Every structure is written in structure tokens, then in C-alpha cells.
Amino acid sequence: MTRLASSLDRLGTETAFEVLARAKALEAQGRQVIHLEIGEPDFATPGHIVEAGMRALRDGHTHYCPAPGLPELREVCAEHLSRTRGISVEPSSVLVAPGAKPFLYFGVLATCEAGDEVIYPNPGFPIYESVIRYAGATPVPLPITEDRGFAFSAADLAERLTPRTRMVILNSPANPTGGILDPQLTAEIAAVLQGHDCWILTDEVYSEMLYDAAHASVAAHGLLERTILLDGFSKTFAMTGWRLGYAALPRPLIEPITRLIINSVSCTAPAVQLAGVAALTGPRVEVDAMLRQFRIRRDAVVAGLNAIPGITCVIPRGAFYVFPNITGTGLSARDLADRLLEEAGVAVLAGTAFGAHGEGYLRLSYANSLENIEQALAAIEGLLSGVAVA
Ligand code: PLP
């Protein structure tokens, strides 16, 4: 009998891709849509990285390669993580995959099962909750609240730890809020985790997208031997479509996660990996210019949102998202997001796309031109002026 596996009922999705599809359908009908929904830099991948990828293809790097990753990429990733996090990572502890995302999936699948609890940020990247459920484990949300600067306190974490806590997932800078765990808070979180024997997964894909703050990693506090530290090329180098990410893994996880890679994707395209070597070792001029643009846009979008009755928006400290509070509009996050898309032609995500604790918020990605951002702000204001603001 043909039927689907019931485990699929536990597998969630990423609403950004659904909203993108709805927006594209509207565009196909001739409607204009400004895209503030999808989490990818709108800049081109820097030229020297593209060149390195093309050179690698021309040089014949077009076949299978070692499942854990090319030695030269593992080496520069280890060097990069060691230098930027102030830790000592061996190349043999680094694995490479098509994106950082597989490490969330494989990391949870390799360590968690029914009966285990996993603490994760909520609102947070939707894949966390999805994968925890898929593994059969119990998701334990850690509320990320505006009154704590879109972070949480070490006490908030401590009170959720139980003997069943198998893993704690951290994400800084954070999607969807742009909040960060600053060095002081990171040290406090690490102190709490020192006293609890569980895995830690720290998702640091926005580690280089910080405004006025230094990146802090919990891995730097003596927790490396049970921490999965993941980073990637998608955000920093505007390489979302190349699919390239890496992680430093605790020794006991290297072989099982390599096995998961072999069972699923075999390996990561070698030419893409060589482009990654060029990214981590090459000039930073374009990356720096991109960050300067993001800062200008962030300031414009925050000022514009705060000028709209019913909306307030704190200044995010990292990533390229704003997470405005829309409770003053009297609308739910989902209703407002739907109406913005259908009536104002602005694609955004409801805060609830990132978990129940996202109610009352929208997520806007400012990875779009200043001109489009200004147009979107005017359209949001236009729509809300027709709504009775509480
Ligand atoms: N982690 C977070 C917090 C993200 O926002 C994203 C992408 O949106 C990822 C991981 C996945 O990144 P990658 O493209 O490297 O798979």
C-alpha cells in the first residue's frame, strides 16, 4: 500500500520559502512585490570567489571528493574558527557540508531521540524546532524577548535545564530578531552549561554580521569538547546558492556525522569548496562594503518603522533583519503579514513563522536596496493608515 511515513507529520518547514512562492505567484499575475521576506544578501558573490570556483571547474574539480571535505578547506576553516573564536580547532575536527543547515539536521539526528529535551530559541530559525521534533525529541522553547534586548538571561536557561536536556541550541547574532548574546551574557550562559552535561549547538552563521559589538562564542569557554560550532559562507560572502557550510565538531561526532553525509549527499561539490578557500583567505573589500550598506539600510528601516503609528522597532545588533513590534496595529502577525503581501505588495514574514513567541512581531529582511526599502515603508504606512490603529 502506498502511504507516507507518519514521521513526516513532525517535520516542519521554513515559511520564508512559502511566502516567496506566494509572492512569485502574485508577480506572475503582473503584481509588483517588494521582497523583504527571504534571508539572503542581495549582493553578488565577490568576484575573486566566483573566479576561484570557475577555475576549479575548468581545472577538472568535477568529481566526487572526500565526504568530510577537502583537506585545504578544512584547514582554512579550522584556522578561521581558531582565530576568530580564540580557540584551538584542528582541521580534523572540521567537517564541510552543502550549507550550514545540514549540520543542524545531522547534529540533532546524531544526538537526540525520544525522551530527550532540546532547549532552543523561540522565536528562532524554524529548522531548530522542526528537526528536534523529527528526531522524536521534545522541543523546549527558550523565549527570546524584546524586554531582554532580544536575548534571554542565564537564569532563563538554567530554569529549563533538566536531567533530560540532551542539547541546548544557541544562535547569535540571531535570526529573526537581530539580537545577540554579548560577551558578558555568553560567559554567564557558558557558566550555566558547565554544570550540565549536554551537547551544545551554537549556530554562528551571522558571526561576521555585527554592528558595534564583538562576536562571542560559548565554545570559547572550555565547552568545545561537547559543542557543535557551525558557520557558513551563505551570509558573510553572499553565497547562499553555492551551498557551503562547515562545523567544528566534538571528536565522538566526527565519524557519525561523516556517515550521515555519506548516506545523504556523499560530499560537497569540490569546486564550491575551492571557492570557499578563496573566500576565507582572500580580500575582504566587498564583504566590508556589504556590511557598510547593511548598516545604512538597518538605520533607515528602523527609523522608517518607528515613524509608522502602531509599530515600534528596536535597533538590531547583528544579522540583516529587523523584528518590529506590531501589537499597536491591533492585528495579529499573520494577518498583517498576509495583508501586506496581498494589499500592499510587501512580502514580510510573521513573527510566528519563527515560533509561538514571535506573535506581535514581523520579520523584515533589509537585504534589499534602500530605494525598495523606502517604497516598502511607504506601502506599509499606507496600508496601516487604513487600519484603525489601537
Ligand atoms: N542558521 C540560521 C540562523 C540561518 O538564518 C540560516 C539561513 O537562513 C542557516 C542557519 C542556514 O544557512 P546555510 O545557507 O548555510 O545553510
Give the residue extent of every domain in the chain: 6-44+285-384, 63-281
| Per-residue model confidence (pLDDT) at position 26 | 95
Cell numbers at 302, concatenated? 528602523
Q: How far does the centroid of ligand 1 lie from the alpha carbon of residue 206, in Å?
A: 8
| Average pLDDT along the chain | 96
**Mean pLDDT score, 148-155:** 95
pLDDT at site 273: 98
pLDDT of 389 above 80: no
**pLDDT-derived band at 387, boundaries 50, 70, 90:** confident
| For residue 224, pLDDT beyond 70 | yes
pLDDT at 388 over 80: no
* Residue 132: pLDDT over 70: yes
Q: How far is the CA of 385 from the centre of ligand 1 (A)?
A: 35
The pocket around ligand 1, CB under 6 angstroms, is made up of 39, 99-101, 125, 171, 175, 203, 205, 232, 234, 240, 245
Q: pLDDT grade, residue 2 (50/70/90)? A: very high
Inform me whether the pLDDT recorded for 304 exceeds 80.
yes
Say how far apart CA 65 and CA 112 lie, in whole Å.
29
- Residue identified by cell 523583504 is 36
What's the CATH code, domain 6-44+285-384? 3.90.1150.10
3-state DSSP helix/strand/coil % of the chain, to nearest 5: 45, 15, 40
User: 245-257 pLDDT, tens per residue?
Assistant: 999 999 999 999 9
pLDDT band at 109 (very low <50, low <70, confident <90, very high): very high
Express each pLDDT in 17-50 by its tens digit: 889 999 999 999 999 999 999 888 999 999 999 9
Contact status, residue 300 vs residue 374, Cβ threshold 8 Å? yes
Q: What is the pLDDT of residue 73?
A: 98
- The b-or-e profile of 30-69 (16+ CB within 10 A means b, else e) is eeebbbbbbbbbbeebbebbeebbeebbeeebeeebebbb
DSSP secondary structure of 73-125: HHHHHHHHHHHHHTS---GGGEEEESSSHHHHHHHHHHH--TT-EEEEEES--
pLDDT of residue 12: 92
Integer CA distances (angstroms), 279 to 46, 195, 232, in order: 8, 38, 11
Helix (H, G, I), strand (E, B) or coil at 357: helix
Contact predicate 247/231, CB 8 Å: yes
pLDDT bin (cut points 50, 70, 90) of residue 15 is: confident
Pocket test for ligand 1, best of 40, 150, 235 (most atoms within 8 A of CB): 235
Q: Would you say residue 358 has pLDDT above 70? A: yes
Cite the beta strand spans of the chain per DSSP E: 34-35, 94-97, 117-122, 138-143, 165-171, 199-203, 227-232, 245-248, 321-322, 346-347, 349-350, 362-365
CA distances in angstroms from 342 to 9, 274, 347, 364, 379, listed in the order given: 29, 42, 9, 16, 12
Mean pLDDT of 171-179: 97
Give the architecture (CATH level 2) of 63-281. 3-Layer(aba) Sandwich (3.40)
- Tell me which residue of 210, 155, 215 sits closest to 188, measured CA to CA: 155
The answer for residues whose C-beta is within 8 angstroms of residue 85's C-beta and 6 or more apart is 215, 217, 219, 220, 229
CA–CA separation, 188 and 248 (whole Å): 22
Grade residue 213 by pLDDT with cuts at 50, 70 and 90: confident
Nearest CA to ligand 1 atom 11: 101
Burial tier of 11 (Cβ tally within 10 Å: 0-12, 13-18, 19+): exposed
Grid cell in block for residue 313: 522597532
What's the CA-to-centroid distance between 151 and ligand 1, angstroms? 19
Rounded distance between C-alpha atoms, residue 219 and residue 337, angstroms: 37
State the pTM of this model. Answer: 0.96
